[in-house]
Amino acid sequence: MSCYLWMCVVFVEKILRVQPNVKRLYLLVRAPDAESALQRFNKETVAKDLFTILKEKYGTKLQSFLSEKVTPVAGDITYENLGIKDSSLIKEMCGDIDVVVNVAATTNFDERYDTALALNTFGAKSVLNFASKCVTIKLLLHISTAFVSGETPGLMLETPYHLRKALNGAHGLDINTEQKIIEKRLQELSSDETSTDELITLAMKDLSIERANKFGWPNTYVFTKALGEMILGHLKGNMPLVILRPTINTSTYKEPFPGWIEGIRTIDSLAVGYGKGQLSCFLGDPESVIDVVGSVYA
């Protein structure tokens, strides 16, 4: 489970537990159809131990409660209208939704450039476009990352990023140009008879790191997330927009109970290794600030 899916699970549980009077949550799920979206929601969200408190509270009525409050929607933010094919559902959502939360992303540091740009950058634009169609929209909350600030030491202020402004001051940063570079490189690779799917993937990963480093970002993930922030800031108009930049997400702090964590990511391996007795010590500066945050919404 990626840190973004982790946050989505925590977010949904939190709302259902402390705000059960919420009218409805439309939960966009990457799935081919509504039935598959529902199955994925039950398997990857409700089945988690995180939902223990809700299961104890509602017992046999939990599924009825969830059916009333949550609508898993099959879709994909890389497509127009979030990839939702049912026009009547789109109309319903645009009439009901007043808050849109975007946690979708690929967090791979060396993701293929075409994949990362489509999801982390143009995907953010797609979410903004859909939110603008919601007639009672009050807020678009976009989850980014603190590491869009790169690796520059010192105090990092919550300043917005603007189109064409590279982190290192380099000239030539343009999102549409980056898309054209991707398309040109893919055409070159496709026309080469010696290219295989594996070689194309490696070439697109190398391209992403090359472009990120050119403009001052250390990896594909933070570069494309920064571009996503830029495009939102440029196109938001009167849309109420909040960009949240969490650091490394760890376990829940207090709610619904302390210590829940899903999977092993980044710094989690240290805690697990220590808990299993496989790691007795770890070198570090006791005076340093650790870039971690407990459950963002709890």
Residues tagged active-site: 221, 225
Asked if residues 185 and 203 have their Cβ atoms less than 8 Å apart, the reply is yes
In three-state secondary structure terms, 203 is helix
| Nearest partner of 185 among 171, 166, 199, judged by Cα | 199
Radius of gyration of the chain (CA): 21
Cβ neighbours of 81 (radius 10 Å):
17
CA distances from residue 98 to 15, 22, 134 in whole angstroms, order as listed: 15, 11, 7
Distance of CA 219 to the CA centre of its chain: 16
In three-state secondary structure terms, 150 is coil
Euclidean distance between CA atoms 119 and 202, whole angstroms:
18
In three-state secondary structure terms, 90 is helix
